Amino acid sequence: MRILVHDYAGHPFQAELSSELARRGHDVTHSYCAAYVSGKGKLDDPGSPVEFEAIGRGEVVDKLAFRKRIVQELRFGVQLARQVRRRRPEVVMVANTPVPSMVLLAAYLRLRRIPLVLWHQDVQGIAIQSFAGAKLGRAFRLVAGVVGRGERWVARRSAAVVVIAESFVDVHRRWGTADRTTVIPNWAPLDEIVPTDRDNAWARQQGIAWKPSLVYSGTLGLKHNPALLVGLARQVRDAGVPVHLTVVSEGPALDVLRAEAERLDVPITLLPFQPYERLPEVLGSGDVLVVLLDASAGAFSVPSKTLSYLCAGRPVLGLMPAENLAATLVAEVDGCVLPPVDGALPEAGRWVASVLTDGVRREELGRRARALAEREFALDGCATRFEEILGRAVGVPVVRQFHRVPGETGADRKELHPVSASFVGAARTATNLDLDIRDDSPLTEIRTG
């Protein structure tokens, strides 16, 4: 199959999936938004069979300038359509993509009769409405409703939907798309994010190798309350443990952290996103790794940083809603899960202090975290399920190929990776309506052919 995978954020495990699909013989292009600031995965590996292509280069996505952001996201949707026109995939899968961009892309794919698979990482309409209801005005809530309708429209026009938790299925029942929905939980790359020594080169470079350390690494956006990180560190210090706080992120939240750390007299190191190959050292430098997720996110957002933390083999503290899937994973490895509110900080601080002062317990919590990751994050099974979903979307049955060693019985056959059968009738009849998405065309021009 010719597959285009677009992961707007450029996360590690989506890139890992694309690489695995390419190793199985598929022609895979993996694209992402270069303008979106976040921790990126392994997107520049010259030895990978995937062709990685960044789009949306230029101005940085401004998450707080709403009108400007909408325009940017519409323009990005046109760029995605242009990429489809260049690459000519048989199927397109999108993840973490803004709804305006997805609506434009879905409309273009429908005209071109190219199936779309929606990898639904976050129910954006519900998340925005929840946040708007708590913090913003009526006008923004109305816009959030429009976003929700656009998201539903995309789902209804998708050949298949992959969701990351059972909580999403009820939403798709209401949308009438549950019959095409499959649950595949997220994972993190086990071979890329591995446990490292606490005293590693990166920690020494930052001067934190010998200090009790709290680490947060990842985006700090609308679903987070960054001041909680500093308040947590203050509680630990008040418990008699001189902890140091390190935050690896970018954006306006860093100004909040800097001011709050000065106010509460908390030692803090603020760093931009680090190269992906150094992520194991970044996470390894923490005695305890912290996850933040605002209560409004509920069950419809699973922070991928939690999965990376588990791979790193460190104790995890989650200030997050208890119903979130990530909270379930943290609790399973005897981490600490508390509500993301100021009132939970004293208990959180006591838990962190107890872990920092008990080396045996700290190592055991780290072993449990890594063991869960190794048990749950195996790539092969996930890749096979995605391969089958993509194959069904385009009418390509995924068949199992076997080889037989002379003298073996049928039961002894060795199973190889599944590969795609030849696609019967690969030629597609072009539609007589086509968006003009030539690189030099006006963004709104439509032509008939």
Render pLDDT for 177-210 as a digit per residue (tens, 0 to 9).
999 999 999 999 999 999 999 999 999 999 999 9
CB 319 within 8 A of CB 348: yes
Give the pLDDT score at 404: 36
Structure token digits, residue 57: 């280069």
User: Could you count the other beta carbons within 10 Å of the beta carbon of residue 293?
Assistant: 23
**CA separation for the pair 199, 206 (Å, rounded):** 11
User: What is the bridge-based pairing of β-strands 213-217 and 288-292?
Assistant: parallel
Note if the pTM is more than 0.85.
Answer: no
Q: 253 with 373: CB under 8 angstroms?
A: no
Contact between 204 and 321 (Cβ < 8 Å): no
pLDDT at 64: 57
The token duo for 251 is: 């954006």
The domains of the chain, with CATH numbers, are: 2-187+379-448 (3.40.50.2000), 201-376 (3.40.50.2000)
pLDDT digits (tens, 9 = 90+) for 32-73: 998 888 888 888 877 788 999 999 876 666 655 667 778 888
- The residue written with tokens 């949707």 in the block is 77
Q: Phi/psi of residue 246, each to 5°? A: -120, 130
What sign does the dihedral 301-59-5-394 (CA atoms) show? positive
Contact by Cβ (8 Å): 315, 343: no
Return the HEC string of 80-102: HHHHHHHHCCCEEEEECCCHHHH
pLDDT tens by residue, 352-411: 999 999 999 999 999 999 999 999 998 999 999 999 999 999 997 765 443 333 344 434
- Binned at pLDDT 50, 70 and 90, residue 134 comes out as low
